Amino acid sequence: MRKLVFLQSIFLTSLVVATPAFAQTAEVGQIQSFIQSVIQVMVTLSGFIAAGFIVWGGVGYITSSGNPESLEKSKKTILYSAIGLTLVLGAFVLSNMVSQLASTAFGAGM
C-alpha cells in the first residue's frame, strides 16, 4: 500500500512540475499549398490511369471481332474509366474552389 501511495505521489508531482510543450506555429498558406500539391499529384496519376484504361477498353473494342461479350466488356471499361476521370476532375475543381474560399476567408497569403 505504501508503494502505491509513493508511486501515485511521484506521478502527480511529475504532472505538476512538467514544463508545458508549445506547438510550432504554422502558416495556413504552407499547409494549404502542401495539400494542393498532394491533390494535384493524385489527380495527375488518376488521369494517367484513367487514360490507360480508356486506351485498354478501346483496344479491346477494336479487337473484339464481333464477340458480343468482349464488346460489352470493352464498352463498360471505357464507360467506367470516363466516369472515374470525370469524378477525379470534379474533385480537383471542387478542391480548388474550397482552397480559394479558404484563402479568402482566412487570409492565407500564398
Q: What is the pLDDT of residue 5?
A: 77
Domain residue ranges of the chain, discontinuous segments joined by +: 49-110
Q: How far apart are CA 93 and CA 16, in angstroms?
A: 50
DSSP string, 31-74: HHHHHHHHHHHHHHHHHHHHHHHHHHHHHHHHTTTT-HHHHHHH
Question: What tens-digit pLDDT sequence spans the chain (110 residues)?
Answer: 777 777 777 777 776 666 666 666 666 667 778 888 888 888 889 999 999 999 999 999 999 888 899 999 999 999 999 999 999 999 889 988 888 887 787 765 54
Say whether pTM exceeds 0.75: no
